[in-house]
Structure 1
Amino acid sequence: MDDTIIAGSATITGHQTDPIEAYVARPQRPGPRGGVVVIHHMPGYDTATKEITRRFATLGYDAVCPNLYSREAPGADPDDAAATARALGGVPDDPLVGDVGGAADYLRSLDSSNGKVGVIGYCSGGRQAFLAGVSLPVDAAVDCYGAFVVGTPPEGHPLQVRPLVDRAPDLRCPLLGLFGADDQYPSPAQVEELDAALRDAGKEHEFHTFEGAGHGFFAVDRPGYRPAAASEGWSLIGDFFGRHLS
């Protein structure tokens, strides 16, 4: 299979028609194919997230990662932009939905698109992937250890958001959840609470919890990286998107 890709920065239309920076990666071969919106973690629009975006292109998807900090810190170093976002308590939910919706529209506008779009997010982005799944007409969503879908951030936490578990009945697409058994946000009890809410609402979902893994086990550049969990997680993501975006 030809896994040659084309990748680079672009400008897309986000919330309230704001122009926002994005990183786009696409297979060079012709479509049609599905698209994936990659929602970055709270540390920001960084090298590791762009690598994930490229990986989806090698798997055969058009992929785009919107820079959620484009308004607060345009052109800033990722660490500086993340510090600005933390000081503000994270990205508000309404602009997030608008930006991810704009990224999904961008993917559907490509000549190579088959019309289907999935979303995936990590850490704060996992919560935002769930938010996209209950708010937007997407075809699949993946929540990688999304903090505070269930529960409220403690005082002083850099992410200040409301829980979303009450919106489980609004889920508009199949959901894959990947979690660490040693994580605190979300804890195994919070994962079970979300699982129960989705079951009660009759929503299609599958959750997997990895023993010996905590928060951020996909992050190759961080101490929490767990190769075995990440490898199995990638296999589950590939199968999930393959079923719902083909």
Structure 2
Amino acid sequence: MGDAIRAETVSVGDEKIQAYQARPLGPGSFPGVVVIHHLPGYDESTKEMVRRFAANGYLAICPNLFWREAPGAAPDDASAFVRGQGGVPDEQVIGDVRSAMDALRALDGHNGRIGVIGHCSGGRQALLVSTALPLDAAVDCYGAFALEPPPAASGLKMTSIKDRLQDLNCPVLGLFGDDDKNPAPEEVERLAGILAGHGKAFERHSYEGAGHGFFSPDRPGYRPQAAVDGWKKIFAFFDLHLGGKRLEV
């Protein structure tokens, strides 16, 4: 099998929110992945992640969580506007991810399994939606403010999801940087302890010399060695829990 894909902008859900979708070309049985974009927005690096999943045998989609608040705005402008509003409400995120999951299920060749992955605020939101939606696997890449709310000076109105974690319904892979401040290694340890106390499956890895955003090639925090190893772990995790069959050799 080759790695040819089809990628396009689509509309999902009753509200027809914008989303970026990619899928392998040709017949097959493919798992689904919902990509939750980071706080900087629905940008090109996030769309590249969607295409990367498709090139590796996944049906992938990223809903634009800022679409209602800033339709048609550039990612940085949309992010700034949404930050000024305090962020996106949790229940709205859950609804948008549900719509994205429904879109994946409607595609020909879907194998019935869906995972979720998020970076930065999206990492927190990946945990959040996994407590509310029927997902099969979740990846949290340096998700900030999962256990404690952000400082008041940030303007963000996120709340702790600590009390929701008992309802987590799928295994989780966590990828973190030892030099990160949000979440700091101490918070990652707390998260691991809480999930262990609830009997949840949590595989975690931390990278020396990596801080926040080490997966983002267009940002100063990019760390190639950590990102390459992280991608290997992501695909191994999703292949195991979603039944993926990678197209790359």
Q: If the TM-score is normalised by the length of the shorter chain, which range does it land in?
A: over 0.9
- 1:54 is aligned to 51
Q: Which residue of 1 aligns with 2:134?
A: 137
1:224 aligns with 2:221: yes
Shift of 1:159: 3.0
Query: Cα RMSD (Å) of the superposition?
Result: 0.9
The amino acid across from 1:176 in the alignment is L
Partner residue of 1:89?
86
Q: Give the secondary structure class of the aligned counterpart of 1:125.
A: helix
Quote the residue 2:3 is aligned against. 3
Deviation, 1:18, is 1.6
Alignment of 1:30-109 (within 5 A): 30-109=27-106
Determine if contact 1:175/1:205 at 8 Å carries over to the other structure.
yes
**Counterpart for residue 12 of structure 2:** 12
| Residue ranges of structure 1 left out of the alignment (5+ in a row) | none
Q: Is residue 202 of structure 1 aligned with residue 202 of structure 2?
A: no
Shift of 1:158: 4.4
Structure 1's consecutive aligned runs of 4 or more residues displaced over 3 angstroms after TM superposition are none
d(CA) in 1 for partners of 2:155 and 2:122? 14
Aligned residue pairs total 243
1:118 aligns with 2:134: no
Q: Distance in 1 between matches of 2:8 and 2:204?
A: 33
* Aligned equivalent of 2:233: 236
Among the aligned pairs, what percent are the same residue? 57
CA drift at 1:29: 2.0
**2-side partners of 1:158 and 1:146: how far apart?**
18
Q: Secondary structure at the match of 1:135?
A: coil
Q: Give distance in 2, aligned partners of 1:232 and 1:207.
A: 13
Note the C-alpha offset of 1:202: 0.5
Report the CA distance between 1:129 and its aligned residue.
Answer: 0.4
Per-residue Cα deviation, 1:116-136 (whole angstroms, up to 9, x for no partner): 000000000000000011110
Aligned-partner Cα distance in 1 for 2:202–2:191? 10
Out of 140, 148, 152, the position equivalent to 2:149 is: 152
**Partner Cα separation in structure 1 for residue 180 and residue 87 of structure 2:** 20
TM-score, normalization by structure 1: 0.97
In structure 2, list runs of 5 or more residues that go unmatched: 244-249
SS in 1 for 2:152: coil
